[in-house]
Amino acid sequence: MEEATCSFNEKNLVGKGGFGRVYRGVLRSGEVVAIKKMELPTFKEAEGEREFRVEVDILSRLEHPNLVSLIGYCADGKHRFLVYEYLQHGNLQDHLNGFGKAKMEWPLRLKVALGAARGLAYLHSSSDVGIPIVHRDFKSTNILLNANFEAKVTIC
């Protein structure tokens, strides 16, 4: 993970939140990925490890064109890493606020909204994990856009 992100260099930081920081990384194969780096709190290490394992188990079973795909994961000391597909057009909020490279005309906005709704509907009716999943943090920063401006919902 260190090599892929140039030692987690700040120039590769693409997002941060309550669960950790997300960096752009390049694997040895040349594939560009998003790497979420999380640190287990010392006082809740066992609980954090259990939650991480459950999260990986659930994420690895979800598969839908409108969900960000988990590629892999890694544990190293107190750090936990989730490796996701990288979506080059960033998040929806940046585009709605005019920070994106492309202007979002109404047909594109509708396409993105429908894609995000499909991803959310899949989670709510997900038989792949045996129980419906409630997102609990569905917002424009958690809707990412691929090269074709197709929406993909981030799950965590």
Binding-site residue numbers for ATP are 37
Residue 94 falls in the annotated catalytic set: no
Choosing from 57, 76, 128, 137, the catalytic residue is: 137
Q: What is the token pair recorded at 65?
A: 């064109």
Annotated binding site: 37
CA distances (Å), origin 85, targets 31, 35, 47, 105, 115? 9, 9, 27, 26, 17
- Bridge partners (DSSP) listed for residue 82: 36, 73
Helix, strand or coil, per DSSP, at residue 110: helix
Catalytic residue set:
137
